[in-house]
Structure 1
């Protein structure tokens, strides 16, 4: 058993460390604000893309890098900083990542060129480390019985911020201009930094070791190259030389990363950890869930904004289109904690499988009844339950399957897997929608949306099968037993290991 596991066992026997014995409401609220600040800024810029295109007289491809640059650096930072937090303290690294996030947001608000805005968004992506670090802090500092529900709420906050970020910018841009999206986001980030600094204590659980810079460089290059290939698949063509070359380069870089990791004593990502059945199940399922679910965040507002003259759509404004996702945010807020309670009682396989099946139902409503506003609202509400269950179950599954000193690393990888799956799914969904247009117009044909929604439903059905293939006992591990009289904690832990 690892040193950190023995530390946790001794803390459990004593009752609780100091941070557990104090109240958890204020630290938890601080973590929610920190996580919300990141999830909001992921999508708040999306409704402003047309304004940015006019402001900088840029092409749609150039403006798309405002989103892509954020995604690329976020994917690298999530994996790297999750591990750094395990090594040097999760609170310390969380505050540092939020500080970099604030600097990037300030630069974005002050940007006078598209190039500077893209660079600022790349700096912002570092804030993505908030998710694995928040999960790790909850696992280290909160009473064990509260961990599943707390993780469920944090997971739900991701989707809530994602959805709300598509609604709020409309009125802001209409009343002021696009820069105020970043000024308002900066306020939330600074509140998050202040709250974490004031209320969150540093965890005593760390994992001794060093940073594998070679592994970090290889993993970062591999993930960035892979996401570039996915992102450019539609505009360049999936079988074009540059896209195929990027996929090949990504495969080579990731294989070298695996090879180098086997030859170092302290790899950035413990490959043996990834192959544990519960962890492997969560990563594979996260990839497929991301593939299936992320299209809804962009396709539903686009469908809602399509004028009825195209034969479908509701002609909604930017703000009105975002409102179609609000039921998803509401049901996620309820579903995340509920999934935590269910998983804590019966294990994480049931809520994870149920999440996928509920997602299938939500996309079935989108596919079969998107000519009715009420049906789209209902589909969003149903899908929100599935997303809330899925995010909560995945996070809890990973946290319960690894040692405390590897929580940031494992949850970081899970987030990256979901991001890669989501990027791929969103690109393929966009290709399906754009494949045909209404004759005599520039609007996509309705059949493209139907095909994309059906694809997402099928993907979530496959995700349910992947979750079913996982081990039966997917549940958080129970507290360490008391040592026998006259025997030390170290002796008990060593023998159990």
Structure 2
């Protein structure tokens, strides 16, 4: 699809990917702190406004693995351009929306941009020298976390000095530029998957993702024991085995179950689930704690949206530093040790917050450590998945890892909301301080479990031990250093 006839330098491709992923990451989080503002301007109910996040989450979960697989089949750069065009269109629609219904539709369209991450990982693996892949994957993975933190920082100033519609206009400009850059500069994929696409598998995957995420997203508001939530969980329990059976019987499965059973893949996905709980729950409730009026609640920092974002700025900085550092450390020590260190580093700050969260320095020290741990863990986790699968499966494998992190975040947010709601009553409309303590202990435990899961990730020499996973990165190209290493391991 690219207009050029000669493959550009990989740094040109990398620049396009950084702009694209950065803009998408901002859209993930920038709207969260200003939902009350949007609700007021659009004269909407709280339940309807919540769908601005829920609809986005559901669309991203469904589109990410499906579009990632299509990219593996027809060309990653083609699907990257399509995804960027859809993301730009969704942002433009949100920018002109003056009703809650139209904005929800716009957010659903934006959610399809979730496929950008697995497509970007696949393009990096196709285009970069083997020695540079880990570092590039680390930076792009870190951008997903950094963009989330930066969105929380930027949302306040944008809304205060402009209009909330600019939360969509700014990312739209970036995604439009990235779409043009991808069309012009990103070369055709040299590696393609074979076969077709299991539409039944895609339908069943979409169905159980929707029922599961609806259940965990609405558990705190509907009640975990309500008929609706229990019914959704039962439907999920029925649909998952049907999906697995359909994929096992399909000649061209959407998700190759053999791939999902690769030790490095399923262990990285387990860490991803737990780390999704840690990161997304933290980004959901920490701003809420900071914005709680101290005079009314007896705790909190009475911060506005802008000030609460500034409290979280150290997390954004250390996330990016951790992501960049992860590539270098993984190249020297392997991705597994870096994943473990990132997970372990995330435990002390949440313990600190669980014990005490009433001083500014406690928040600032905690968020700086959280950012470093998340940056190291997210980057090394993504690198592990990319290293573990064949080039033609990079998109779908990375997409499922991203999906599993999203599921973890939804579960964490649902449980956290229930912990906070337990102390709310008409006489005391704000959550009790003990509720936040329980949330931070929940995140401490999740980080401990993530570190334990990181310990069972296979060592580097075993990550790609199955011979069927080996395919040249470019047809008729000499084997890469990665492939030679795996060939030697198999021979031994």
TM-score in same-fold range (> 0.5): yes
Pairing of 1:411-430 with structure 2 (within 5 A): 411-430=398-417
**Aligned match of 1:369:** 356
CA displacement at 1:56 relative to structure 2? 2.5
Greater CA deviation, 166-175 or 155-164?
A: 166-175
**Aligned match of 2:315:** 328
Deviations 1:48-97 (A, max 9, x none): 21122112322211110011000000001111011111101101101101
C-alpha distance in 1 between matches for 2:233 and 2:88: 33
C-alpha distance in 2 between matches for 1:101 and 1:474: 39
**Aligned match of 1:292:** 278
2:39 pairs with 1:53 = yes
Q: What SS does structure 1 have at the residue aligned with 2:392?
A: helix
Cα 1:481–1:207 change in 2 (3 A) is: closer
C-alpha distance in 2 between matches for 1:88 and 1:223: 25
C-alpha distance in 1 between matches for 2:266 and 2:6: 34
C-alpha distance in 2 between matches for 1:481 and 1:272: 16
Greater CA deviation, 72-81 or 365-374?
A: 365-374
Pairing of 1:167-178 with structure 2 (within 5 A): 167-178=153-164
**Aligned match of 1:269:** 255
Cα 1:136–1:318 change in 2 (3 A) is: same
2:280 pairs with 1:279 = no
2:303 pairs with 1:316 = yes
CA displacement at 1:474 relative to structure 2? 6.4
2:165 pairs with 1:179 = yes
Deviations 1:314-335 (A, max 9, x none): 1111111112221111011111
C-alpha distance in 2 between matches for 1:468 and 1:37: 33
Cα 1:480–1:168 change in 2 (3 A) is: same
Greater CA deviation, 63-72 or 164-173?
A: 164-173
Asked whether the equivalents of residues 347 and 474 of structure 1 are also in contact (C-alpha less than 8 Å), the reply is no
Pairing of 1:208-287 with structure 2 (within 5 A): 208-287=194-273
Where structure 1 has 5 or more consecutive residues not aligned to the other structure, the ranges are 1-16, 483-487
Q: What SS does structure 2 have at the residue aligned with 1:166?
A: helix
Deviations 1:141-199 (A, max 9, x none): 00111111111110111111101111212122222222121112211111221222232
Greater CA deviation, 362-371 or 130-139?
A: 362-371
Q: So what's the TM-score if we normalise by structure 1?
A: 0.90
C-alpha distance in 1 between matches for 2:427 and 2:225: 29
Q: What SS does structure 1 have at the residue aligned with 2:183?
A: helix
Pairing of 1:104-183 with structure 2 (within 5 A): 104-183=90-169
C-alpha distance in 1 between matches for 2:189 and 2:442: 43
**Aligned match of 2:345:** 358
**Aligned match of 1:3:** none
Cα 1:481–1:162 change in 2 (3 A) is: closer
Asked whether the equivalents of residues 347 and 476 of structure 1 are also in contact (C-alpha less than 8 Å), the reply is no
Asked whether the equivalents of residues 391 and 471 of structure 2 are also in contact (C-alpha less than 8 Å), the reply is no
Q: What SS does structure 1 have at the residue aligned with 2:39?
A: helix
Aligned residue pair count:
472
C-alpha distance in 2 between matches for 1:225 and 1:439: 31
CA displacement at 1:439 relative to structure 2? 9.8
CA displacement at 1:494 relative to structure 2? 11
Asked whether the equivalents of residues 390 and 471 of structure 2 are also in contact (C-alpha less than 8 Å), the reply is no
Asked whether the equivalents of residues 33 and 287 of structure 2 are also in contact (C-alpha less than 8 Å), the reply is no
CA displacement at 1:397 relative to structure 2? 0.4
C-alpha distance in 1 between matches for 2:15 and 2:278: 30
**Aligned match of 1:9:** none
Greater CA deviation, 391-400 or 322-331?
A: 322-331
**Aligned match of 1:405:** 392
